[in-house]
Structure 1
Amino acid sequence: MAKVPASVIVLTYNTRDLTLRCLSSFYTEALAHGWQIIVVDNGSSDSTAEAIAEHFPGVQVLRSEKNLGYAAGNNLGLRRAMGEIVILLNSDVLAPFSVLQGLTETLKAQPQVGAISAGLLTAEGRPQAFAYGCDPRPGYLLHRGLRALLGLGFMHRWDVSQPIEAEWVSGACLCVRQEVLQQVGLLDERFFLYFEDNDWCLRMRQAGWRVLYDPRWTVTHLGGASGIQRNLISSIYYRSLAAFYDKHYSLPATLTLRVLIKCYVLLKSLHRRRHAPSKEGAPPCA
């Protein structure tokens, strides 16, 4: 059997139109080059699977009866991936085949690198800041939280214009060696959403692999249409952050984090309530 050069895995949850656009950006050329394309339908109710079968018959569609989350959903595809390189791609990403091919070639040319991610652009073509970063250590989180509460904006000032070795890279467009997948295992399914890419990259680094961010290859990350209600996002984020600490940090650090999260959420709620306009549109009385 001929080797499969790469497998592309697209996870979708009620993002039918975005998923079709995503597939359109690389489908024809990927099939022509013998790539495997897998879409995991994570319990969608918008006929995503049927639309893919109609418009992209070369795609292997895996269907879940419910939304398993990012890690568990992608793992369905990872278990079926036969490519020497595996590419995780968000359904709201437009990725020309030339970019995906460039990423795979860059990865193969550096045997010590286990994973590589592309630069992320907004729909307007502006670079997105949160394409890579450092591990969420206590000092970093405390500094970031204080800046947010004081209205000083995000602390994230990493240069996204140059290739760099990073502690974690975004899973929006992430290329991983099949060898790495076999060595470090699948995504950790205790992370429903958020920090699964942090955890995966950390495990790669612990196994001796390097992780790279390379904005010489860029994709468009449309964002804003995950299919999850906005009021659930913060809760999921903090729950995943706590799970990351449970797994990788000491008990005192984990307990401290949980206290800080409760304090931060309370202070943020009080701040919003204090500065929210009244029903008449004027600030409430102090």
Structure 2
Amino acid sequence: MEALLTPTASPLDCDVIIVNYNAGKLLTDCVSSVLLANAARAIVVDNGSTDGSLEYLASVFPSDKLTVLLNNSNLGFAFACNVGTRASSANRLLFLNPDSVLSDSGLLRMLEVLDSSPTIGMVGGFLCNPDGSEQAGGRRSFPTPQRAFLRAFGLSRLARFFPETFSDFLQHAEPLPGQPAAVEAISGACMLVKRAAINDVGLWDEGYFLHCEDLDWCMRFAQRGWKVMFVPDAKVVHVRGACGRNRPLFVEWHKHHGMLRFYRKFYHHQYPGLLWGLVVAGVWMRFIMVASYHGIRYALVRMGIGRG
């Protein structure tokens, strides 16, 4: 892990909420970066982990700046985020995945942008892979059914010729802005939010179990007039999928179920009758394709042909 910020005398008015589910020692790396960034508290909400991640964390950080809240089972990401939100009294909350590490000045930079305007309600950092490359999802447009269809069938590649018609909802392939930029959505892996905005918009929608709850919140922030900002110089290293790679079908099921909930809440009125049926069929067709891929891959691994 890279060099981290030396804490100042006065803690920042920001609690960091980390939802853990079998993140292993990555959780400890995450909490370490949070405490060194001088957040007021790291609030770990555990969804019934069984991998010893909490025991290892406790052996490393017997700190009064660390709070661990236990759910008896995996109740979902949004539910756990709300548990952490209710346990905090800070005016700014950072929701951070347990497989993420803040850079030396990442939190301070995001706070600076969040506080720069009363209309900014949410800020996300530069999510990157361990090799430093930008990760998909850190800055994006809303994945409307049309955009999702174009991306699923590779048609978004035509955006270079027809940007208005074939634009992608993911923006990581676009040039990195030189300064903080307004976007439609950021990733729930790193989401800094004002308490005042939460009080206005409401908590996370617990109808989502895993995936798309962050899109839902961004949409609701936009509907209430709150700006969402992407901060390119606030680096956050994210080991994407570390907590779910052993259960790909479970993750994909909830991802597709979440996408349908998102579409139903915000786009159903634009797709009446048969068109809505096509949207639903398209989502589940994509799930069948992804599930088949994972099934074949698993079979090849069991046969000793592929890699796990």
> Could you state the TM-score of these two structures normalised by the residue count of structure 1?
0.85
Report what 1:192 is aligned to. Answer: 209
Give the drift of 1:101: 1.6
Q: What is the CA deviation profile of residues 227-249 of structure 1, one whole-angstrom value per residue up to 9, with x for unaligned ones? A: 45012222111111111122112
| Worse overlay, 108-117 or 256-265 | 256-265
Please list every run of at least 4 consecutive aligned residues from structure 1 whose deviation after the TM superposition is greater than 4 angstroms.
265-274
Aligned match for 2:46, one of 41, 57, 66? 41
RMSD of aligned Cα (Å): 3.0
Contact 2:33/2:101, CA 8 A, preserved across alignment: yes
Distance change >3 Å, CA 71–CA 266, structure 1 → 2: closer
- Residue aligned with 1:170, SS: coil
Query: How far 1:28 moved relative to its partner?
Result: 3.8
* Matched residue, 1:73: 80
Distance between the aligned counterparts of 2:256 and 2:277, measured in 1? Answer: 13
The answer as to 2:287 corresponding to 1:246 is no
Shift of 1:5: 0.7
Contact 2:106–2:233 (Cα < 8 Å) also in 1: no
What residue is the counterpart of 2:249 in the other structure?
231
From 256, 280, 284, the equivalent of 1:262 is 284
Counterpart of 2:184 in structure 1 is: 167
Read off the aligned partner of 1:237 and give its amino acid letter.
K
Distance change in 2, residues 1:84/1:269 (3 Å): closer
CA distance in 2, matches of 1:120, 1:8: 16
How far apart are residue 268 of structure 1 and its match? 6.4
> Residue type matched to 2:282 in 1?
L
Which 5+ residue runs of structure 2 have no aligned equivalent? Answer: 1-9, 158-166
Give the letter for the 1:242 counterpart. Answer: L
CA shift in 2, pair 1:267/1:197, >3 Å = closer
2:22 pairs with 1:10: no
Alpha-carbon contact 2:103-2:237 (below 8 Å) kept: no
1:94 to 66, 86, 101: 101
Provide Cα deviations, 1:181-233, integer angstroms capped at 9, x if missing partner. Answer: 11111110111111101000110010011101111111111223114501222
Q: Do the aligned partners of residues 18 and 266 (structure 1) sit closer, same or farther apart at CA in structure 2, a change above 3 Å counting? A: closer
Which amino acid is the alignment partner of residue 240 of structure 2? G
Name the CA shift for 1:254/1:88 in 2 (closer, same or farther; >3 Å). Answer: farther
Q: Secondary structure at the match of 1:132?
A: coil
**Which structure 2 residues correspond to residues 206-217 of structure 1 after superposition, within 5 A?**
206-217=223-234
Counterpart contact for 1:119–1:160, Cα < 8 Å: no
Following superposition of structure 1 onto structure 2, how do residues 78-227 of structure 1 map, counting pairs within 5 Å? 78-96=85-103, 98-147=105-154, 155=168, 156-158=170-172, 159=174, 161-162=176-177, 163-227=180-244
Amino acid at match of 1:126: S
Q: Name whichever of 217-226 and 170-179 sits farther off.
A: 217-226
Asked if 1:30 corresponds to 2:38, the answer is yes
Q: State which drifts further: 139-148 or 175-184.
A: 139-148
Q: Which moved more, 1:92-101 or 1:155-164?
A: 155-164
Query: Matched residues in 1 for 2:49 and 2:304: separation?
Result: 40
Distance in 1, matches of 2:83 and 2:268, equals: 31
| Distance change >3 Å, CA 140–CA 23, structure 1 → 2 | same
The CA distance in 2 between the partners of 1:119 and 1:199, in whole Å, is 20
Do 2:94 and 2:193's aligned partners in 1 also have CA atoms closer than 8 Å? yes
Is contact 2:20–2:45 with CA below 8 Å preserved after alignment?
yes
CA separation of 1:267 and 1:89: change in aligned 2, threshold 3 A: closer
Deviations 1:30-81 (A, max 9, x none): 16xxx12201111101233333333222201000000111111111101112
Equivalent pairs counted in the alignment come to 272
* Separation in structure 2 between the aligned mates of residue 134 and residue 19 of structure 1, nearest angstrom: 29
Q: TM-score, normalised by structure 2?
A: 0.79
